[in-house]
Amino acid sequence: MGKKDKRIKLWKQILKYSIYTTVLLAVLLGFFWIDSVHRRYKKDLQEFRNSYMESQKNRVKHEVENALRYINFKKAQTEQQLKEQLKKRVYEAYSIAQNIYEENKQTKSKAEIKKLIIDALRPIRFNNDRSYYYIVNLQGVQQMYPLEPDNVDKDIQNRQDYKGKNVIRDELRVINEFGEGFVQDYSSKLGAESKKIYPKISFVKEFEPLNWYIGTGEYLDNVKQDIQKVVLQLLSSIRFDKQGYIFVNTYDGIPLIRDGEILKDAASSWELTDPNGVKVLQLQREAVRSPKGNFIEYSWRKLDGQEPVPKISFIMGVPDWQWMVGSGVYLDDLEAVVSVRRKEINQELFKTVSQIIIILIAVLILVYLFTNYLAQKIKYNFNILSDFFRSVVKSPSYLQPEKLKYEEFAQLGETVNKMLEKRLQAEKQLAEERELFISGPVITFKWYVRENWQLEYISPNIEQFGYEYKDFTTGSIQLSQIIYPQDRTRAMAEIDEFIKSDKELLEQDFRIITKDKRIVWVYDRMKMKRDEQGNVSSYYGYLIDITVRKKAEIEIENEKAYLENLFENSPECIVLVDKHSRIIKCNKSFTTLFGYSSEEVKGKNLDYLITKSEQISQAVELTAKAENGERVFTETIRYNKEGKPIYVSILGVPIIFSDRELEVYAIYRDITKRKVAEEKLRKTNEELKQLKQNLEKKVEKAVNDIREKDQMLMVQSRQAAMGEMIGNIAHQWRQPLNGLGLLIQDFQEAYEFGELDEKYLEKQTEKGMQLIQYLSDTIDDFRNFFKPVTKNKVFSIADTVRKTITMVESSFRDHNIKIDFQVEEDVKIMGLRNQFSQVIINILNNTKDAFAEHEVEKPQVWLHLSKIDGKAKLSIRDNAGGIPSQIKDKIFNSYFTTKQDNKGTGLGLFMSKTIIEKKMNGKITAENIADGAEFIIVV
């Protein structure tokens, strides 16, 4: 009893540990609560510091960015300002030259006027005497250059700048194209000690009266320096807050603005170091390597102080000017603001911690009172459960949950009742299952590692083989004795091997002999059991009758052997492939046909094995169809191992089991003999085809004869047009021949008046040669028109129409007929240019005849070229009264003409239609319009 009394009561432990836990939790909660508050206030202070710091950094960054925007604005004005200034100066010089020319052109020679202008412009200087005017004529000869007076009247077209750019030619190009403009080059400044190259912009303007252009130039660098002085003056005046200002240094460390003041001719501060060893200018140089600028920290004195204090500055670079522009904030000002905020936060923190401690003490008192009350209730419920467990040992009886006061204990009571009920049911079910197992087919056993497999246990259902389980457990029958003699040695060897191995499980099949001498197949599955030393002490497992399954397996093996024999000895070539077109197996017929052994083809891709490269894509496509469940059939060529082609028919069929495709089998059949017969049939067809072609040649010859007749008609048409052309030649030649006559007469008059000198002869000879060249060109144009051309070439419709108009223009002019040709869009086509020109001449000649017939007062022909659907459309219309309706449908017929007295052949429009529609695959039509006719040609 004493030992029992020393045990700790659970309800007291619950009360004690609940109090301990509550106190511990309260302490931890208080600690973490206070720590959380302290961290929050500390975080607030840090955030305030960071926020204030960020605002100050943003402020100085904003000031620097504003300075950069102003600098970029002024930089952008550099070139524009220079251009405006140069243009203004040249316009002033142009006005001076223009006034001098206008005042003296009636009284002085051009040489005198040139000198007056040069004398007026040469001494003019501007831009602090850096800039001046220069003059060059349009042949590239220098007329005035104040800095190089010795180069006047020299050809300077080939003058180049330091980068090899031909400046004078660029200026001449600008003058020729636009009359005025800007030109840029690179050169060194005259008088400068160094030969450094600077970009220079010049403005030139043409002075037409003297075939000159006037120009002036200025270096961008000079204008940039002027603008930089203005920028530095503004930046030095910027102030913000108490200590805020802008400072500027060059990339090589020369201060331009320091402490808000401009420094002139200051020495380099590249090695300037603050009290902490920071090289300030070098740190700034590193910062401006970033295009967006960067913040840096160092120490620097305030405007109103002497001692350096920590400072954060934002620096940005101006690469074009090699400037570092920055502004900063002093950290001691920041810490002063943060210190005030720190005092406020400490006061708030002390107040909050005091409140937390009071709250936690009150919570501890309440928790103790509640826990004590709860412990008493738990004690009562534990007593009820304790009484129940004592009673249930003696006799199974159910607990009454309604006596328990707490839901959890009531649920525990119900759970205990359910466990009790399940235990009773399990015991009953176990008894039933044991009875069922004993009567089932699975025989369990356990045997020792001893000779003859001495059994420790075997289930009673061994009776299904005619034995009683007592026969084995008593040792009257050994398990090894009932194994079929032919299987006994193998089974024992497998067990010995199992003992020596590390395997956990042994599975084997063997036959046994039943008590009534039947042979039965059994499946044996067993595991090893080891003793404390790790040695195998016994085996346990089960036996099950598999005689029915074994008979089925034997039948399947027989069926498989039958199918294998059928597959292997089939006269057809059969091959099985997997889902990746790899050969699984093939029969003898396949290896015989293609010359491979079964070992050579196994695992190889079927398509690549017996197919040439040019047929691979087709073979792969057929295989893919079969692999996708489609039945395919084709006839094609495959190649054996020696590369010999074999005509085969191919049948590909997918092997599908349970709606799932497993493999594909293909059947190849040699159809070479049939293909040979088909080839003979093909040759017969070829002979018939040859007979057909011979017949077609005869037909073609007849057609060519007809075409030759058409060609004769074409010649007749051109000969008919030749008469018209000779008249046109006469019209073209009349005026230049008259001019030659006048020139010859003028020679006699010049001789009589004493004007026949060398200069006169040169002038008159030149005029005569021009007239003779014109006559020669006219002959060439008409000769080219009549030149026979049979080869199609690409030609321009617009150029051809213009050439054709020139050949008839004189004749039309004599008849007061105006020709107007408008080009909306030119088109180039492939065809016979002369024949197309002949079509236009035929239409124009018919039009001219129509004007004469109807005596039109103001005859005119309009030609219009456009593009429609990628083709050329040429419209030719007139105001000659139109085509009579009774003949409108006949005008394109051969030998049809309305001209009297054999003046027409009736071939002109017929041949025009033949040329356009048969030789150029185009279309020609004619329609009447308001006061005339319109021919439309589409090619």
DSSP string, 830-845: EE-HHHHHHHHHHHHH
Beta bridge partners of 512: 483, 520
- The predicted pLDDT at position 104 comes to 92
Q: Give the Cα separation of 138 and 641 in Å (integer).
A: 84
Residues 275/299, Cβ–Cβ less than 8 Å: yes
Residues 273/285, Cβ–Cβ less than 8 Å: no
Residues 693/667, Cβ–Cβ less than 8 Å: no
Q: Give the Cα separation of 71 and 935 in Å (integer).
A: 70
Taken as a whole, the chain contains a residue count of: 939
Residues 269/253, Cβ–Cβ less than 8 Å: yes
Coil, strand, or helix at residue 729? Answer: helix
- The predicted pLDDT at position 3 comes to 44
Specify the residue for token string 């240094």.
Answer: 249
Beta bridge partners of 200: 185, 219
- The predicted pLDDT at position 905 comes to 47
Q: Give the Cα separation of 702 and 708 in Å (integer).
A: 10
From the CA atom positions of the chain, what is the Rg in Å? 59
Q: Residue 368 corresponds to which tokens in the numbers above?
A: 């103790």
Beta bridge partners of 527: 505, 540
- The predicted pLDDT at position 927 comes to 92
Residue 211's φ and ψ, nearest 5 degrees, are 55, 40
- The predicted pLDDT at position 4 comes to 46
SS3 content of the chain, % helix, strand, coil (to 5): 55, 20, 25
Residue type, 148: E
pTM: 0.34
Q: In what order do the strands lie in the sheet with 583-586?
A: 583-586, 573-577, 660-670, 645-657, 632-639
Q: Please give the C-alpha separations between residue 772 and each of 733, 735, 740, 743, 769, in angstroms, as whole numbers.
A: 10, 12, 8, 12, 5
- The predicted pLDDT at position 850 comes to 87
- The predicted pLDDT at position 901 comes to 47
- The predicted pLDDT at position 797 comes to 92
- Start-to-end CA distance of the chain, whole Å, equals 130
Residue in 725, 727, 735, 930 with CA at minimum distance from that of residue 840: 725
Nearest 5 degrees, angle CA 923-CA 925-CA 928?
A: 165
Q: Find all residues with CB under 8 Å of 733, minimum gap 6, and list them.
A: 775, 778
- The predicted pLDDT at position 778 comes to 59
Q: Give the Cα separation of 71 and 293 in Å (integer).
A: 15
Q: What is the mean pLDDT of each run of 10 residues along the chain (939 residues)?
A: 51 67 73 71 72 82 88 80 89 94 90 92 86 92 88 86 87 92 84 72 93 90 80 85 86 88 86 89 89 89 81 90 88 69 69 73 75 67 67 63 64 72 72 68 78 74 83 78 87 83 85 89 86 78 86 83 80 86 88 88 87 85 82 88 88 74 82 83 81 75 63 56 56 58 66 72 70 61 55 88 83 85 91 84 87 87 92 92 84 65 57 84 90 92
